[in-house]
Amino acid sequence: MTYEIYADTLFIVNFSMDFLSLFITGKLTHSSVRPIRLTISAVIGALYATLSVVFDSGDIYSRVMWFAAFIFCALTMCRISYSLGPKRLLPVFLAVNLGLGGLMSILFSAARQSGLVVESGDGASPLMFLLFALISGAVSLLYGRLRIFGSKRREVNSRITLLGETAEARLLCDSGNLLCDPISSKPVIILAPKIFGDRLPLELRTGETDIGALSGSLCAKLRLIPAQGVTGNRLLVGVVPDEVLVDGNEVDAIIALADGSYDGCDGIIPEELI
């Protein structure tokens, strides 16, 4: 049987699936989820899916070309969505996308065999959108439950490398830590400089915010992070780290050095990085 598929319907379905797949990928890889970036990536994926259906001639050369375009598109989507290397994200993204697509196919096939689906001329069915809404709702509910379950006090082990110096720190998960780098929008981990001892430059340990007075090589790695607290507004000095591992997983964040008690820990980490 031949179906007519409307491009707008195909675009909406693929956009929704790609957005949900990218969201789940971010959570599985402990990456910072940025809705705007996910939206742009999902639009790219939906455009690819629509164009591949419209212009695919069906011959072997066309299939090879579209497969190569698919890999390039997936890498681009991962690169736009998250700062973590796309080669590391791609297998997770493809696995999640394949899993969601397979789940949709199984549910739709079961519904059709049970007589719940009435085939229409354009091959579309309201049940398709209902199934996707149910899957999205289930994912959201599960994620919400996990967040509630993990909302109690939580501490994590970290291994942080700054300017070639490595130190281990115990970090307190703080859902109220919403600081981010104004330039890259990366989340900020606040860390007590004492864990590095005197191995870091004095300007970093003292919180020197006159970046222009620092050396060029050091200045290139620094960021000024605006912060607001009970004592008023202030600027924190952030550093682009060489590497940050949280419970063995690499995360993409800025390290801000600031003295504090941190409830017995060495610093605080945003909840989204865990």
Q: What is the pLDDT of residues 72-102, one digit of tens each?
A: 998 899 888 886 666 778 888 888 888 877 7
User: What pTM value is reported for the model?
Assistant: 0.55
Q: Look at phi and psi of residue 115 and say left if phi exceeds 0, alpha if psi is from -120 to 50, else beta.
A: left
pLDDT tens digits, 240-272: 889 999 888 888 899 988 888 888 888 999 877
Confidence at residue 139, expressed as pLDDT on a 0 to 100 scale: 66
Write the DSSP string, 152-174. S--EEEEEEEETTEEEEEEEEEE
pLDDT tens digits, 20-44: 888 888 877 777 778 888 999 999 9
Does one domain contain both 134 and 23?
yes
Does one domain contain both 105 and 181?
no
Helices within 114-240 (DSSP H only)? 126-149, 202-205, 216-219
Single out the residue in 149, 182, 214 at which a domain terminates.
149
Whether 1 is covered by a domain: the verdict is no
Does one domain contain both 85 and 189?
no
Confidence at residue 121, expressed as pLDDT on a 0 to 100 scale: 47
Amino acid 175 reads S
**Is residue 117 pLDDT above 60, yes or no?**
no
How far are the Cα atoms of 163, 192, 215, 244, 258 from residue 262, in angstroms, in the given order?
24, 9, 30, 19, 10
pLDDT tens digits, 164-185: 889 898 998 887 777 888 888 8
Does one domain contain both 141 and 199?
no
The closest alpha carbon to 20, from 120, 102, 97, 124, belongs to 97
Does one domain contain both 145 and 11?
yes
Does one domain contain both 105 and 47?
yes
Average confidence (pLDDT) over 223-229: 79
Residue indicated by tokens 């993990």: 150
Does one domain contain both 144 and 12?
yes
Contacts of 146 (CB under 8 A, 6+ apart): none
Whether 159 is covered by a domain: the verdict is yes
Single out the residue in 115, 149, 183 at which a domain terminates.
149
Contacts of 98 (CB under 8 A, 6+ apart): none
Whether 54 is covered by a domain: the verdict is yes
Whether 163 is covered by a domain: the verdict is yes
Does one domain contain both 115 and 248?
no
Whether 2 is covered by a domain: the verdict is no
Confidence at residue 39, expressed as pLDDT on a 0 to 100 scale: 92
Q: Which domain holds residue 89?
A: 7-149
- Average pLDDT in the chain: 78
Does one domain contain both 263 and 185?
yes
Whether 98 is covered by a domain: the verdict is yes
CATH value at residue 186: 2.40.70
Single out the residue in 149, 178, 198 at which a domain terminates.
149
Does one domain contain both 142 and 212?
no
Whether 57 is covered by a domain: the verdict is yes
Does one domain contain both 129 and 167?
no
Whether 67 is covered by a domain: the verdict is yes
Q: How many domains does the chain have?
A: 2
Does one domain contain both 14 and 135?
yes
**Is residue 11 pLDDT above 80, yes or no?**
yes
